[in-house]
Amino acid sequence: MGKYLELWLEQVAPPVVAESTWNTYTWHVRQLQPHIGHLELYNLTGFDLQQGLRSLFKKNPVTVQKTLGTLKTALRQAVAWGRLHSDPTAGLKAPRVPRRERRVLTPEELARLLDVLRHFRHGLPVRLLALTGMRLGEVLGLKWDDVDLRAGTVTIRRSIDTKRRKFKVFDEPKTPASRRTLSLDAETVRMLEEHRRRQITATKVVSLSRSDLVFGRNRPLKADSVWKTLRRALKRAGLPAICPHDLRHTAGSLLLDGGVPLATVSHFLGHSNPGVTAAIYAHPVRRMCNVADTLLGSADKMADKRRRNR
């Protein structure tokens, strides 16, 4: 098994898979080697794996689950290559991962966050995370060529490795479905226009190239800068701590709670199919695909209700 896993890593090295994916595979193989590296590949059974992995199963369930995912990928490839007759991981029993309910913001909480973000240097990328449902790597990978200020849209064409911030790790989006065009609210468009003017002034150029980064100069903005801005803005707004990815869940939840069709929200979030969206979000669905408009519509309804009750 040890030799096979090393061979498999060689065969799937970049550019077969993304560099970040291969690094994850490599780390998982290192975790697996002490437990099952000594097992014979031929005639390998699920029971052999179950016994060999017992000590690994005592570790963090989330880590174990991800490591087993890599093992399954490697052994399914062994079946495809004719090294095994069947996948021995099919009957493998692994520790159950407790489901963590993500904390999402209510429309009122999101409105408070958006209000305080105006006072932060990196408030705009956080605003985009909250109102477009983009992943952090997608926001930091934006170039001005992806932003149409006249049409009020942003197109996701790439994602970056937020840890390395190197141009060579600019990559395709997470899935083909991640390539999508999203509408922006008028306030966000205005803020992007101001941000562009400030960039031109700071760089002392006549105009920015379409290939220039929206957030960053020679390298993308640090993900840590976005994290810090979010933490400070939440604290100032008197809101509980959440991470940038929770803003994506907030966007999806608000749209679904507002009645937007599941298929529309799935496209909005860049999921491969509506089934992925349904597995993550268990909410009813409304009709608009713009978080800002949904938020404003909710606020207008609340104001109307208060007026009627007077």
Strand partners of residue 70:
none
Q: What is the pLDDT of residues 210-257, one digit of tens each?
A: 778 999 887 889 999 999 999 999 999 999 999 999 999 999 989 988
DSSP string, the chain: -HHHHHHHHHHTTTTTS-HHHHHHHHHHHHHHHHHHTTS-STT--HHHHHHHTTTGGGS-HHHHHHHHHHHHHHHHHHHHTTS-SS-TTTT---PPPPPPPPP---HHHHHHHHHHHTTSTTHHHHHHHHHH---HHHHHT-BGGGEETTTTEEEE--B--TTT--GGG-B--SSGGG-EEEE--HHHHHHHHHHHHHHHHHHT-SS--TTSBSSBSSSBPPHHHHHHHHHHHHHHTT-----HHHHHHHHHHHHHHTB--HHHHHHHHT-SSHHHHHHH-----BS---HHHHHHHHHHHHHHHHHHH-
Nearest to 289 by CA among 146, 133, 111: 133
Instruction: Give the C-alpha separation, 161 to 173, whole Å.
Output: 11
Q: Are 61 and 98 in contact (CB under 8 A)?
A: yes
Q: Are 132 and 293 in contact (CB under 8 A)?
A: no
Q: In the prediction, which pLDDT does 98 show? A: 73
Q: Report in angstroms the alpha-carbon separations of 140 from 37, 122, 215, 225.
A: 39, 11, 6, 11
Q: In the prediction, which pLDDT does 207 show? A: 65
Q: What is the mean pLDDT of residues 117-124?
A: 96
Q: In the prediction, which pLDDT does 217 show? A: 81
Q: What is the mean pLDDT of residues 93-114?
A: 85
Q: What is the domain partition of the chain in residue ranges?
A: 2-80, 107-304
Predicted model pTM: 0.71
Q: Are 4 and 41 in contact (CB under 8 A)?
A: yes
Give the number of other Cβ atoms within 10 Å of residue 254's Cβ.
25
Q: Are 2 and 11 in contact (CB under 8 A)?
A: no
Q: What is the mean pLDDT of the chain?
A: 86
Sign of the torsion angle spanned by Cα atoms 174, 177, 181, 184: negative
Q: Encode 76-110: b = buried (16+ Cβ within 10 Å), e = exposed.
A: ebbeeeeebeebbbeebebeeeeeeeeebbebebb
pLDDT at 102 over 90: no
Q: In the prediction, which pLDDT does 95 show? A: 83
Q: In the prediction, which pLDDT does 219 show? A: 86
Q: In the prediction, which pLDDT does 174 show? A: 59
Q: Comparing 76 with 20, which gets the higher pLDDT?
A: 76
- Residue 20 binned pLDDT confidence (cut-offs 50, 70, 90): confident
Q: In the prediction, which pLDDT does 287 show? A: 40
Q: In the prediction, which pLDDT does 286 show? A: 39
Q: What percent of the chain has pLDDT over 70?
A: 85
Q: In the prediction, which pLDDT does 204 show? A: 76
Region for residue 133 given its phi and psi (left: phi exceeds 0; alpha: psi -120 to 50; beta: otherwise): left
Q: What is the pLDDT of residues 63-92, one digit of tens each?
A: 999 999 999 999 999 999 999 999 999 888
Q: What is the pLDDT of residues 252-292, one digit of tens each?
A: 989 988 888 989 999 999 988 888 888 777 543 334 445 66
- Greatest Cα pair distance in the chain: 78
Q: Are 94 and 64 in contact (CB under 8 A)?
A: yes
107-304 sits in which CATH class? Answer: mainly alpha
Instruction: Give the C-alpha separation, 217 to 103, whole Å.
Output: 33
Q: What is the pLDDT of residues 164-188, one digit of tens each?
A: 655 444 455 656 778 899 999 999 9
- Give, rounded to a whole angstrom, the gap between the first and last alpha carbons of the chain: 74
